[in-house]
């Protein structure tokens, strides 16, 4: 597979057949999935996901499982992962469960216990046909390195999983440390718990530079079902679609050409939140495809980066950090906007893994997105 970023939506199995996007009964089909014991359900197994093209990744379900009875819990999780997934992540205890400002002692305590669990899972998975990724935690390059070296002192893993959920601040781009560290590991890596457009775009070009495939996830498409939130296809802002006029954002028709919005009315979506989830999912998947396409050309990426960096006082710092990470020269693109649009559209047309519908959608998206002011 050519280098790319691959988005994994967190599967909520509790939807009816027609909204299960991993089957051909649903108007949207997507084959890369992240399952978790709590969201997807411990009683689900691969037979609930019959489809040859599916690639199922299994989370361990968070540190709750390993803080109870560690050995039993880790192996129970592993048995479930072996029944359902092609690739699974080890159980870990994130140091930030103490606090965001955890101490070195707290970090080491979590690291030793997590790596003990990971080794146990590795031992019991040796003879199975499932890939096991070792989870790595850390705020800084040095913490990540220390955790990784302890995790791999006896053997390595099929891949690694780096948690990005330890800091919610949007001004401090902590995940650049994680990507910097990831550049030293020549294996596939999953980035846990982050999927905004800035991260997606940077991960796509990082994949090109590293000649590697990386996965990342979030449960954000499910905000349709949970909160009635509709992701704007161009700006990614979250609009509120509510049954109650007074609580609804000022929206009269759906601003989107996706397979859901092009066949349904605003009222349909308001009355069936699963349709909002599917629209949201399509928007997330499409942006990921778009980011992979533009990332094959540094000059195109520079234009996209300016459009996805948040408009705040940290813009310049973020741009400089990304430039340094990726070894890019001047951050001004040598392309004019219209030239960039034409180049992207050619790449979309030439892309072999897009359906005709996806190509039309992405070309429509490109024109609107490139029109956004920076």
Residue 294 contacts Zn ion per CB under 5 A: no
C-alpha dist (Å) from residue 25 to 12, 29, 47, 268? 16, 9, 16, 19
DSSP code of residue 125: H
Among 6, 84, 261, 309, binds Zn ion (CB under 5 A): 261
In terms of DSSP bridges, do strands 32-35 and 189-192 run parallel, antiparallel, or are they unpaired? Answer: unpaired
279 binds Zn ion (CB under 5 A): yes
Residues 6+ apart with CB under 8 A from 155: 122
Nearest one of 32, 45, 34 to 12, comparing CA atoms: 34
User: Residue 181 or 365: which CB sits closer to Zn ion?
Assistant: 365
Cβ nearer to Zn ion, comparing 27 with 94: 27
**Least distance from C-beta 242 to Zn ion, angstroms?**
17
Q: Is 288 in the site for Zn ion (CB under 5 A)?
A: no
Q: Which member of 256, 278, 291, 318 binds Zn ion (CB under 5 A)?
A: 256
Alpha helices per DSSP H over the chain = 64-67, 70-84, 104-125, 141-151, 175-182, 197-210, 223-227, 266-271, 273-294, 298-308, 315-326, 337-350, 356-370
Name the minimum Å distance from CB 262 to Zn ion: 7
Instruction: Please identify which residue in 258, 278, 291, 305 interacts with Zn ion, judged by CB under 5 A.
Output: 258
Query: In the bound complex, what is the minimum distance in angstroms from residue 279's beta carbon to Zn ion?
Result: 4
Q: Is residue 269 near Zn ion by the rule CB under 5 A?
A: no
Closer Cβ to Zn ion, 194 or 284, answer by number: 284
Does position 284 interact with Zn ion (CB under 5 A)? The reply is no
Report the nearest approach of Zn ion to the CB of residue 281 (Å). Answer: 10
DSSP string, 210-268: HT-EEEEEESGGGHHHHH-EEE-TTT--EEE--SSGGGS-S-SS----STTTTTS-HHH
Looking at beta carbons only, is 118 or 260 nearer to Zn ion? 260
Q: How far is the CB of 10 from Zn ion (least distance, A)?
A: 20
Q: Which residues contact Zn ion by CB under 5 A?
A: 256, 258, 260-261, 279
């Amino acid at each position: 597979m050519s280098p790319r970023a691959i988005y994994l939506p967190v599967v909520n199995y509790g939807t009816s057949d027609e909204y299960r996007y991993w089957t051909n009964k649903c108007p949207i089909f997507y084959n890369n999935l992240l399952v978790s014991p709590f969201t997807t359900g411990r009683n689900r197994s691969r037979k609930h996901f019959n489809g040859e093209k599916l690639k199922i990744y299994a989370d361990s379900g968070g540190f709750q499982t390993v803080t109870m009875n560690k050995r039993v819990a880790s192996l129970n999780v592993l048995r479930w992962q072996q029944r359902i997934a092609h690739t699974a992540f080890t159980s870990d205890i994130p140091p930030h469960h103490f606090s965001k400002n955890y101490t070195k002692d707290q970090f080491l305590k979590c690291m030793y216990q997590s790596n003990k669990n990971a080794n146990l899972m590795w031992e019991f998975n040796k003879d199975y046909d499932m890939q096991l990724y070792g989870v790595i935690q850390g705020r800084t390059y040095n913490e990540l390195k220390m955790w990784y070296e302890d995790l791999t002192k006896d053997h390595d893993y099929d891949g690694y999983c780096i948690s990005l959920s330890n800091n919610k601040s949007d001004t401090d781009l902590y995940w650049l440390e994680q990507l910097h560290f990831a550049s030293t590991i020549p294996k596939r890596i999953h980035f846990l718990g982050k999927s905004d457009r800035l991260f997606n775009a940077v991960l796509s070009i990082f994949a090109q530079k590293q000649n590697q495939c990386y996965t990342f996830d979030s449960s954000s498409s499910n905000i349709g079902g949970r909160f009635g939130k509709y992701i704007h296809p161009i700006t990614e802002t979250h609009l509120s679609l509510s049954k109650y006029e007074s609580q609804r954002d000022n929206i009269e028709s759906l601003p989107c050409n996706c397979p859901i919005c092009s066949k349904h009315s605003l009222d349909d979506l308001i009355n069936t939140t699963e349709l909002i989830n599917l629209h949201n999912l399509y928007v997330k998947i499409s942006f990921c495809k778009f980011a992979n396409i533009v990332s094959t050309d540094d000059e195109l990426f520079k234009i996209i980066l300016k459009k996805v960096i948040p408009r705040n006082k940290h813009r310049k710092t973020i741009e400089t950090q990304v430039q340094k990470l990726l070894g890019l020269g001047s951050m001004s693109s040598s392309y004019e906007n219209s030239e960039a649009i034409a180049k992207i559209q050619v790449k979309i047309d030439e892309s072999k893994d897009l359906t005709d519908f996806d190509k039309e959608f992405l070309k429509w998206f490109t024109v609107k997105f490139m029109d956004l002011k920076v």
